[in-house]
Structure 1
Amino acid sequence: MPNAFTPGRGHLSPADAALVARRARVLGPAYRLMYESPLHLVRGDGVWLYDETGRAYLDAYNNVTSIGHCHPHVVEAIRSQVGRLATNTRYLHTLILDYAEALIATFPAELSQVMFACTGSEANDLALRVAKAYTGGTGIIVTENAYHGITDAVAAFSPSLGRSVDLGAHVRTVPAPDRYRAGSSDVGAAFRGHVEAAIADLRRHGIKPAVLIVDTLFTSDGVLPGPAGFLAGAAQAIREAGGLFIADEVQPGFGRTGDAFWGFQRHDVVPDMVTLGKPMGNGQPMSAVVMRPDVIERFGREARYFNTFGGNAVSCAAAMAVLQVIEREELQRNARETGAYLLDRLTTAATGCEAIGDVRGTGFFLGVEFVSDRAARTPDRERASRVVNAMREEGVLISVSGLSHNVLKIRPPLVFEREHADLFVHVFESALARTQ
């Protein structure tokens, strides 16, 4: 895991060192902590997180609580509903239908049915089951450093989990559409060519293609937002091969790109299925698969679906509140305008810094790529890591992304304002100076 705490490195207070030891003893060895010096957090409010000493940290990383930590409208919706009824989808209840209709209204008309789960991993697992039933295929195409979840089936097509997590024999990886390294070549045409080559290789091995699934901002591949429109050719290629195009909107969705509510809309393409997760309930477990009715018809006819907590009334109340806040507080507009301001300020701050090869982004999803050689565009993981930890020391939280872990992953809550952007850039500039 990039940007992970390594025991024996970083500074820990005696109390936090005891917590780390306690975690290892009780939770086992598989969990990871972020930053060289892990954070001990006790409270959140809007764009801020607070540690046990009361110190505030500007959260420019956490998209789970995408409309801000402990948003009062969401908190009240959860409190009110849990005091009335918490039940599942095997009983008639109007709230799940009200939310489903409100959610579907944000999608193109073709995508008119939705199924609920609890996590993005579950949503992608369900989408794969549906796709296999619809296509009769099993082949999956993803980008080289994609992350789509942690169930056994989904981990098998999440190469960012590392070499110790095996990819399935039915999985093919393709290079991410990286405009920074593409030069004058057509990013969309190149990406389509890679997908077509993967389709041919699947068929050569007797595997029928089922899906091309991508995070529409290619978040784990290094935050690759453009040029808008480059996904259309790849989506056409998988469909011509008898497969489906799935847009994983767990990270790009809910207005984060600023210029569209869903990341796929920037590419003028309508997916066959869309998977949703983290931001839906602003921290309350909630995920979904939105799809064309014909895609789900066979699966629904031949197999039943039930998820005890998927679509429960409390999560639906939280999710409805999230949609309401995004609309009432015009958070998509804020992501577009404040995100553009932050991108412009970061671009200016990076001018003249030989260690920065590229600054890119859309809305509230930005990437800053560090290189050790600008001409060769050689990834510099070490400098990126030092900047992340220097910013953490100064009270601003981000992380890294990309195949080489050399891209700053900047993903603030949708309630981030210009004053927060100014603070972010001030700390960024300080971190650049401190890590020369």
Structure 2
Amino acid sequence: MTGSAEARGFDFFSAGELPAPNLPADEVAGIVRDRWGLEVELDPLGSQQDQNFLARDASGMGTPVGVVKITNPAFTADELAAQDHAASRIAEASPELRIATTTRAPDGTPRSVVADTSEGPLAIRLLEYLPGGTLTGGAHLSPAVVARMGELAAHASLALAGFEHAGLDRVLQWDLRHADRVVGLLAHHHPDAAKRARVTDAAARAWTDVQAVAADLPLQAVHLDLTDDNVVCTTEHGVRTPDGMIDFGDVTASWAVSELAITISSVLHHAGAEPASVLPAVRAFHALRPLSAAEVRALWPLVVLRGAVLVVSGEHQVQIDGGANAYAAAGVEREWRIFEQAVSVPSAVMTAMIADALGVDLPTGARGGAAEAARIEISPGFDSARAVRLDVSITSDDVDGGAWLEADLEERLAFAALDAGAPAAWLERGTPRLSASRIRSAVSSATIPTGVDVWFAEAQHLAAPGTGLRLVVEGADGATILDGTVPARTRARIRLEAAPDGVRVPHLVRPEYAAGWLTLTADPAAGMGLETRQAEPGAPGPAGFEHDAAALVERRDRAFAEVQEHYYAAPPRIERGWREHLVGTDGRVYLDMVNNVTPLGHGHPKLAANVAKQLRTLNTNSRFNYGAVVEFSERLAALAPEPLDTVFLVNSGSEATDLAIRVAMAATGRRDMVSLLEAYHGWTYASDAVSTSTADNPNALATRPDWVHALDAPNPFRGRHRGAEAARYAPEAAERIRALAADGRAPAGFIAETFYGNAGGIPLPDGYLAEVYAAVREVGGLAIADEVQAGYGRLGRWFWGFQQQGVVPDVIAVAKAAGNGYPLGAVITTREIAARYRTQGYFFSSTGGSPASSVAGMTVLDAFRDERLQENAADTGAYLKGRLEALAERHPLIGAVHGLGLYLGVEFVRDRATLEPATEETAAICDRLLTLGVIMQPTGDFQNVLKVKPPLVVSRESADFFVDMLDRVLAEGW
């Protein structure tokens, strides 16, 4: 079917205006009662050309009984029958999906009639109501939801393939085979001349692209309206999973690929969505119903056409209905956003991106691709072999120490090379430039060059005769140098372009779109005789960074024990850090709000220099006599209160807590230990034995050895005793310890985090440690303070966590911050207690207390003093907590903001009265924060607390960015 003259059913082009039915609700309720014996109350639902109501049981609790659909009188009985058959066909083919079919009376007859109404005879059906809601609205759609939308479209496409029916013979304005005619017919209704021109021009270009492959596009029956409005979800714990479809009113025969084009176009108006956001749906569709090369080429132009049709149709419908159709009126802004997003990236770029994502080979030139670089003529005498290639990638030494944030870095490097005698200095195409990236950004920076940047020592004239490519030479300001003459010591941006007419290739593009843009250019370097380097095995390529990260995870899974988990299901590849920032291989910069291992921040220059110098000089074990281990031990002991004066050095927090437990056992001659529930102390045998966190070990409570006795978690927010009642935890704990002693199980010691970090940065109740320490000492045991997380000034006001409780332990276990990521931990105790460990033999740690680790430890202490890190933890921490508490006033999902200094926790609950933990929501929030440039992870036994423990160098600007992004996620969805 190619023209409206052949259509047996509705023909949009001959139907004229198509006002939607507008029956009063009470009239419709009367028809439902008279025809089907149902007493219902009706709530209006939106529709562009039909009229819909949600019918609720009027005699009960308002339970939905179905959706009353009043079909526009322009549609025939055959068309309605085709819709019913299509719905049934999909339901049979995919029984796991929920499909809204016409309901049936007790005798089995469909609830479908043609009724005489105040507007004449109208077809009225009662369709099945599918609970759970749709994706209607502007809330953010996660990649998982978008992928599921693609799966649903594929299921519909597969089920409807081969379906034939007389009611499919119709001409709809939504059928993209007629998009050019629809836009031509309706565009004049758009009141804005500038927008009208944008729509018609874009539609014309897209139509040309589609027509180039139209003969190769398969035809079949399609739903044609599997949009966010018509995809039904099952929602569990705030996370939506699309699993159903409604509204078969647009079922027709059309290009099969239209099904996917219409689905992904509906993603584009949602919060945070952009063209790259639809790729999960495209991949998911292709995995079930593979796209042909022709369909890949047609897909994005069809998205553009869908956007154009929506814009002109929406304005037209508003005018037809005279403002009475609120659904159509509300959609005008939404439809314009879809169009704007669809045309924000050229179709040639999106087509190449889609082909790359699917691994589909397109015919030569179909990607808009460039040929191999041809020769570029340069002024005689230029010695390209002596040109210096500059490197501002994330692995370059020249970007160390935050140099990549300096605006003149590239110029400085270039002029240094020229001053050293090089005829030119240049930056290569396709390699991410960290110098182009920026911190604290909700979107990635444009870091991928589509050409080369060159600084010539002497003026040069460039030309590319007969290449078939367009040589573009621009100055640093982006202005084109029309005659190709580049002045000396001036940046020239040089590209070889094969872009379609009217498409301007940016010199730097965002990594998400690099695979598309790079196909529109060739590398000028080879054509200029500049030596290009060969990629190292396993190194990320000039595009496809998502593939690179995924490939690395696959390699990791093959060689690295799976129990050593990684953050995120699809983690970016991180290969550099600076202060409170982490950098992916594509140049994307993330704010690190979770990494308490590095209080000095990432890439600390002095720490790197000092450790490197020591490694060049000497690195051995502590049995040798050298100064670093003595000096560090002296300084660390001096930080502990009297009478703690003796230090053991180890490699990690797990080893520190393990050794602390063994010291207590050796000092007392006992084996029993007391710990707290919901705590984590490490992975060694002893430290794991006293760990009770079910988040870290789901079997923790069932697998504790008999020598471990766990006390109630003294959590004043969600524990057994809350609020003022939390004062009961300490006396109950003391009584339990005395009872153990009375039963002949007097403990060797009591171990606890001094600030309840693993549970979410929760302070212990006032006086808790004082009373429990007194009880354990009363029965002859030792008090062990696990300072692995809270120690080293993280609380701001106090260097040690136990100082907040006004106590002094017998043994301190510390790590993490001590080495700023270099393996270093310590146990600090008294000379007398340490001496008793001799009963267990000698203690030795191969690298604990090595010269390098000792130097790292001293450098960290120097930085704390010189960079005022503890003061920053107090000041920035208080500011951050205040902002988070203000956020909690506006978002009820936030149950509480815990903590002090830069040791905070944001606890999410579904109900502030019951404190039901919002576990799934928390994980989804962390995933969305990652897309906005923030690294964050959950903690606590219910994994419902944000673990806010950034490097202690974090700035107020970074604190603001984190809170702003969290606010955005909570407002827009996840």
TM range (shorter): over 0.9
1:187 aligns with 2:722: no
In structure 2, how many angstroms separate the alpha carbons of the residues matched to 1:228 and 1:106?
A: 24
Partner of 1:430: 968
In structure 2, how many angstroms separate the alpha carbons of the residues matched to 1:37 and 1:202?
A: 50
Distance change in 2, residues 1:22/1:229 (3 Å): same
Partner of 1:3: none
Partner of 1:381: 919
Distance change in 2, residues 1:433/1:335 (3 Å): same
- CA offsets, 1:37-69, max 9 Å, x none? 213101011110001101000001001111100
- CA offsets, 1:171-220, max 9 Å, x none? 1222222122444435344134135325525764x533111111111111
Q: Of the candidates 288, 293, 317, which is equivalent to residue 855 of structure 2? A: 317
In structure 2, how many angstroms separate the alpha carbons of the residues matched to 1:198 and 1:163?
A: 26
Asked if the contact 2:663–2:833 (Cα under 8 Å) also holds between the matched residues in 1, the reply is: yes
Taking structure 2 as the reference length, what is the TM-score of the superposition? 0.43
Asked if the contact 2:715–2:722 (Cα under 8 Å) also holds between the matched residues in 1, the reply is: no
Q: Of the candidates 658, 679, 683, which is equivalent to residue 150 of structure 1? A: 683
Q: Which deviates the most, 241-250 or 315-324?
A: 241-250
Please tell me the residue identity of whatever aligns with 1:193: E
Partner of 1:306: 844
Is the partner of 1:413 in helix, strand or coil?
Answer: coil
Q: How far apart are 1:267 and its partner, in Å?
A: 0.6
Is the partner of 2:910 in helix, strand or coil?
Answer: strand
1:176 aligns with 2:713: yes
Q: Which deviates the most, 290-299 or 330-339?
A: 290-299
Q: How far apart are 1:228 and its partner, in Å?
A: 4.7
- CA offsets, 1:141-200, max 9 Å, x none? 222121111112221221223134522111122222212244443534413413532552
Partner of 1:87: 620
Asked if the contact 1:238–1:245 (Cα under 8 Å) also holds between the matched residues in 2, the reply is: yes
Is the partner of 1:357 in helix, strand or coil?
Answer: strand
Is the partner of 2:762 in helix, strand or coil?
Answer: coil
Structure with higher RCO (Cα < 8 A, 6+ apart): 1
Asked if the contact 1:130–1:296 (Cα under 8 Å) also holds between the matched residues in 2, the reply is: yes
Q: Of the candidates 222, 225, 240, which is equivalent to residue 778 of structure 2? A: 240
Is the partner of 2:908 in helix, strand or coil?
Answer: strand
Please tell me the residue identity of whatever aligns with 1:309: T
Q: Of the candidates 53, 57, 61, which is equivalent to residue 590 of structure 2? A: 57
1:109 aligns with 2:642: yes
Q: How far apart are 1:93 and its partner, in Å?
A: 1.2
Q: How far apart are 1:227 and its partner, in Å?
A: 4.5
In structure 2, how many angstroms separate the alpha carbons of the residues matched to 1:104 and 1:187?
A: 34
1:370 aligns with 2:370: no
Q: Which deviates the most, 269-278 or 191-200?
A: 191-200
Larger of the two Rg values belongs to structure: 2
Please tell me the residue identity of whatever aligns with 1:289: V
Asked if the contact 1:223–1:401 (Cα under 8 Å) also holds between the matched residues in 2, the reply is: no
- CA offsets, 1:274-305, max 9 Å, x none? 00111111111000100022212221366211
Please tell me the residue identity of whatever aligns with 1:407: V
Q: How far apart are 1:36 and its partner, in Å?
A: 3.2
Q: How far apart are 1:233 and its partner, in Å?
A: 0.9
In structure 2, how many angstroms separate the alpha carbons of the residues matched to 1:199 and 1:102?
A: 37
Asked if the contact 1:132–1:210 (Cα under 8 Å) also holds between the matched residues in 2, the reply is: yes
- CA offsets, 1:5-64, max 9 Å, x none? x9x999793333322222221113322111232131010111100011010000010011
In structure 2, how many angstroms separate the alpha carbons of the residues matched to 1:46 and 1:67?
A: 7
Q: Of the candidates 386, 400, 406, which is equivalent to residue 944 of structure 2? A: 406
Asked if the contact 1:390–1:434 (Cα under 8 Å) also holds between the matched residues in 2, the reply is: no
In structure 2, how many angstroms separate the alpha carbons of the residues matched to 1:188 and 1:237?
A: 16
Q: Of the candidates 512, 525, 548, which is equivalent to residue 15 of structure 1? A: 548
Q: Which runs of 5+ in 2 are unaligned?
A: 1-143, 149-278, 281-544
1:163 aligns with 2:702: no
Q: Of the candidates 746, 760, 763, which is equivalent to residue 225 of structure 1? A: 763
In structure 2, how many angstroms separate the alpha carbons of the residues matched to 1:42 and 1:180?
A: 38
In structure 2, how many angstroms separate the alpha carbons of the residues matched to 1:49 and 1:335?
A: 20
Distance change in 2, residues 1:303/1:79 (3 Å): same
Please tell me the residue identity of whatever aligns with 1:275: A
Instruction: Calculate percent identity across the aligned residue pairs.
Output: 38
Partner of 2:882: 344
In structure 1, how many angstroms separate the alpha carbons of the residues matched to 2:823 and 2:583?
A: 22
**What is the count of residue pairs matched by the alignment?**
429
Distance change in 2, residues 1:57/1:184 (3 Å): closer
Is the partner of 1:209 in helix, strand or coil?
Answer: coil
Distance change in 2, residues 1:192/1:74 (3 Å): farther
Asked if the contact 1:74–1:321 (Cα under 8 Å) also holds between the matched residues in 2, the reply is: yes
Asked if the contact 1:81–1:314 (Cα under 8 Å) also holds between the matched residues in 2, the reply is: yes
In structure 2, how many angstroms separate the alpha carbons of the residues matched to 1:157 and 1:183?
A: 24
Q: Which deviates the most, 224-233 or 412-421?
A: 224-233
Q: Which runs of 5+ in 1 are unaligned?
A: 1-5
Is the partner of 2:798 in helix, strand or coil?
Answer: coil
In structure 2, how many angstroms separate the alpha carbons of the residues matched to 1:338 and 1:111?
A: 31
Q: Of the candidates 747, 750, 753, which is equivalent to residue 215 of structure 1? A: 753
Please tell me the residue identity of whatever aligns with 1:368: V
Asked if the contact 1:385–1:400 (Cα under 8 Å) also holds between the matched residues in 2, the reply is: yes
Q: Which deviates the most, 422-431 or 236-245?
A: 236-245
In structure 1, how many angstroms separate the alpha carbons of the residues matched to 2:589 and 2:790?
A: 26
Distance change in 2, residues 1:306/1:226 (3 Å): closer
Partner of 2:824: 286
Asked if the contact 2:676–2:752 (Cα under 8 Å) also holds between the matched residues in 1, the reply is: yes
1:136 aligns with 2:674: no
- CA offsets, 1:301-344, max 9 Å, x none? 66211111110000000110000000111110110011000000
In structure 2, how many angstroms separate the alpha carbons of the residues matched to 1:339 and 1:371?
A: 23
Partner of 2:736: 197
Asked if the contact 1:286–1:310 (Cα under 8 Å) also holds between the matched residues in 2, the reply is: yes
Asked if the contact 2:820–2:860 (Cα under 8 Å) also holds between the matched residues in 1, the reply is: yes
Q: How far apart are 1:429 and its partner, in Å?
A: 0.3
Is the partner of 1:173 in helix, strand or coil?
Answer: strand
In structure 2, how many angstroms separate the alpha carbons of the residues matched to 1:405 and 1:299?
A: 38
Q: How far apart are 1:435 and its partner, in Å?
A: 2.8
Distance change in 2, residues 1:399/1:44 (3 Å): same
CA-based RMSD of the aligned residues comes to 2.1
Asked if the contact 2:650–2:826 (Cα under 8 Å) also holds between the matched residues in 1, the reply is: yes
Asked if the contact 2:813–2:828 (Cα under 8 Å) also holds between the matched residues in 1, the reply is: yes
In structure 1, how many angstroms separate the alpha carbons of the residues matched to 2:681 and 2:799?
A: 20
Q: How far apart are 1:434 and its partner, in Å?
A: 2.8
Distance change in 2, residues 1:202/1:388 (3 Å): farther
Asked if the contact 1:139–1:202 (Cα under 8 Å) also holds between the matched residues in 2, the reply is: no
Q: How far apart are 1:222 and its partner, in Å?
A: 2.3
Distance change in 2, residues 1:36/1:76 (3 Å): same
Please tell me the residue identity of whatever aligns with 1:196: E
Distance change in 2, residues 1:144/1:67 (3 Å): same
Is the partner of 1:180 in helix, strand or coil?
Answer: coil
Is the partner of 1:318 in helix, strand or coil?
Answer: helix
- CA offsets, 1:124-153, max 9 Å, x none? 111111111111221122221211111122
Partner of 1:327: 865
Is the partner of 1:158 in helix, strand or coil?
Answer: coil
